[in-house]
Amino acid sequence: MNQLNENIRSEISDYQIQQFQTLVTKLFQCCQERAHYQCERFQLPDAELRCLLLFGEERYLTSKGIAYKMNVVKSRVTKIVNGLVQKKLVQRIPDPEDSRITLLSLTTDGHKKLIEINEFYDFVNHQVLLQMEPEQRKAMLTNLDILKASMESVKEMMV
Amino acid sequence: MNQLNENIRSEISDYQIQQFQTLVTKLFQCCQERAHYQCERFQLPDAELRCLLLFGEERYLTSKGIAYKMNVVKSRVTKIVNGLVQKKLVQRIPDPEDSRITLLSLTTDGHKKLIEINEFYDFVNHQVLLQMEPEQRKAMLTNLDILKASMESVKEMMV
DNA sequence: TTGATATAGTTCATAGCATGAATCAATTAA
DNA sequence: TTAATTGATTCATGCTATGAACTATATCAA
């Protein structure tokens, strides 16, 4: 009886699967639209915007490092960085120890822009979290973390 | 005291905002990688795959309808449909009542492919949901729904 | 010390995503 | 019947992304 109960309880209904599919799709679309909006707002192509954000973590970056962090190929990084350099947000500096390497860092303008972008991100996230009651917020974050772990573990499984 | 307590309780910590940002970013990336994997698996560009999925809901579609559902301009649809027609997954049929319109429907191959794709989607979603205990699953879906509502309401707010 | 090999980065060709303007054909309305 | 509207295509443009070929520098080993 207990066994039977367990089986019934762990069964996943088609309804749940569909509900889940729909929710994930909608959230994904929402994120995409947001990214699109941010590009407009900050007058930067998405890839350049994402690249700029990386300078929040480290003062100097290399093409190679950016390629790794953005998960793109190095020739792509050349193009992205070219865009940012043209817009005077990022500058190229030769590495004093290894002349194969060019170090990349923010210009003053780039620094300002980064702060502006981060403030906006925080503002939006704050607004979203404000839609919930504190207890609900905590529960939501916990569940989101569980979902993330589940999706990533399935991803690993499928490689 | 109660008032103060309320204020403290509704405050959102920087930690929560950062945590939320990180979680959403990671989930978004996970979805992107999945989309990418699916393109490889089904040998279709992402837009064509998404377009094919629309035929699960209706037997006949028009370019205009697809443009609306996919949220792209009509010239883009022409290109996407061309790809699907070349791959013999979709066929163009003239509308008997209005010769400006070309109706689009799945071929036999397209129908097979669609079933194959949907089965895979269900399989993956099932796997993800299986990572959780039944109670947790229910809670996660509820919280995901709350998050979706919150993000969409903030989106509306910002237009 | 001098090759061979490895590393960092750029250029170029190619493909997909997406838009907007111009165009064409068919339909509807004045 | 002409004028306006609608459905769809073509073309030019720009962003995302890859992979191969190439340049220049650095390191390792004979």
Is the pLDDT score of A9 beyond 90?
A: no
Domain match, A126 and A151 both: yes
Domain match, A95 and A150 both: yes
CA–CA dist A60, B49 (Å, integer): 40
Is the pLDDT score of A8 beyond 70?
A: no
Domain match, A13 and A47 both: no
Q: Which domain holds residue B12?
A: 1-42
CA–CA dist A87, A68 (Å, integer): 23
Q: How far is CA B80 from the centre of its chain?
A: 17
Give this prediction's pTM. Answer: 0.89
Report residues of chain B scoring pLDDT below 50. 1-2, 4-7, 9
Neighbour tally for A89: CB within 10 Å:
23
Torsion sign (Cα): A36, B54, B121, A19: positive
Domain match, A67 and A94 both: yes
Domain match, A26 and A103 both: no
Domain match, B60 and B124 both: yes
pLDDT of residue B1: 46
- Which protein residues have Cβ within 7 A of any strand D atom? A 39, 45-48, 70-73, 75-76, 79-80, 83, 98-100; B 62-64, 74-75, 77-79, 81-82, 92, 98, 100-102
Is the pLDDT score of A130 beyond 60?
A: yes
Using one digit for the tens of pLDDT, what is the confidence trace for A60-94?
A: 999 999 999 999 999 999 999 999 999 999 999 99
Number of domains, chain A: 2
Please name the residues in contact with A104: beta carbons below 8 A apart, sequence gap of 6 or more: A55, A60, A61, A62, A63, A66, A81, A90, A91, A92, A93
Domain match, B49 and B26 both: no
Q: Can you name the residues that pair with A90 across neighbouring β-strands?
A: A106
Is the pLDDT score of A7 beyond 70?
A: no
Domain match, A118 and A90 both: yes
Domain match, A30 and A70 both: no
A126 reaches B (C-beta below 8 A) = yes
Domain match, A23 and A58 both: no
Domain match, B5 and B38 both: yes
Domain match, A93 and A144 both: yes
pLDDT of residue A5: 46
CATH number, residue B91: 1.10.10.10
Q: What is the b/e burial string over B53-80, where b = at least 16 CB atoms within 10 angstroms of the residue's CB?
A: bebeeeeebbbeebbebbebeeeebeeb
CA–CA dist B67, B86 (Å, integer): 19
pLDDT of residue B10: 55
Rounded to a whole number, what is the largest CA-CA distance in chain B?
A: 73
* Residue A159 pLDDT grade (very low, low, confident, very high; cuts 50, 70, 90): confident
